[in-house]
Homo-oligomer: A and B are copies of this chain.
Amino acid sequence: MNISEDTKLLYYFKKWVNITEPEEQIILSSFEETSIKKKKDLLVPEDTCKYIYFIVKGCLRSYFVDNKGVEHIYQIRMDNNWISDLESFFSQRPSKYYIEALEDSQLLRISFEKLEQLYIEVPGLERYFRILFQKAYVNALQRLNDTMWESAVDRYEIMLKEQPDMFQRVPLVYIASYLGITPESLSRIRKKK
């Protein structure tokens, strides 16, 4: 693992919990470096999600395909975020989702078994992930409220304000799906500005 990658990961852990020197080594040895090319899948339906991934650099989406064959994106994640199918990962049962790279991406991954072991060896990480999921849950509820009660126009503007970088790196088709609308609608919304 090179310097920039491990300092990045540890930096994000240390933002929320104290990690000792020896713990740092245990953590670093539990993660594996991996990379994935644009348009390749990290996970496909029916496979069990074996890892949680920290995105060192890159961009990925997770989506499912409904019974009419339409793709529905529920997450787009970029640098310094985590991506996985937690439902499959924690139950260790087959996933319903795809995770696909939208850019060539560098990742750090940890397996289910290693993470369980790490929680025991470095109790601070249990705290880190408690806080991470807590925040993720609060964000998901906020996004749920927006989806239920804000118009497509307002959701677009919220996203434009809160994640402007996505509009630089992600095709609008995907952003439309993430917003819960069609590409045609997004196009109309953008035209009105």
Give A residues with C-beta under 8 Å from B.
Answer: 64, 66, 72, 74-75, 86-87, 90, 119, 123, 126-127, 129-130, 133-134, 136-138, 140-145, 147-149, 180
A87-B145 in contact given A123-B123, A126-B130, A127-B119 (Cβ < 8 Å): no
Could you tell me the distance in whole angstroms from the C-beta of A173 to the nearest C-beta in chain B?
15
Most buried by B among A64, A138, A142: A138
Residues of B within 8 A of A123 (CB): 123, 126
**Sample (8) of A-B pairs whose CB atoms are under 8 Å apart:** A72-B149, A74-B141, A75-B141, A86-B137, A123-B126, A127-B130, A133-B137, A140-B141
Residues of B within 8 A of A87 (CB): 138, 142
Measured CB to CB, the nearest residue on chain B to A180 is B148
Residues of B within 8 A of A145 (CB): 64, 72, 74
Q: What is the CB-to-nearest-CB distance from A50 to chain B, in angstroms, rounded to a whole number?
A: 17
Asked if A86 and B148 sit within 8 Å, CB to CB, the answer is no
Residue among B66, B126, B129, B140 making CB contact with A144, cutoff 8 Å: B140
Chain B contacts of A129 at CB under 8 A? 130, 134
For A90, A127, A148, A180, the residue with the greatest tally of chain B CB atoms inside 10 Å of its CB is: A148
Q: What CA separation (Å) do A130 and B143 show in the bound complex?
A: 21
In the complex, A137 Cα to B126 Cα: how many Å? Answer: 16
Contact A74 to B137, CB < 8 A, known contacts A123-B126, A129-B130: no
Which of B66, B74, B75, B90 is within 8 Å of A134, CB to CB?
B90
Q: A74-B144, A90-B138, A130-B133 are in contact. List 19 more A-B contacts (CB 8 A).
A: A64-B145, A66-B149, A72-B145, A74-B141, A74-B148, A86-B134, A123-B126, A126-B126, A126-B130, A129-B130, A129-B134, A130-B130, A136-B137, A137-B137, A143-B144, A144-B144, A144-B147, A147-B180, A148-B180
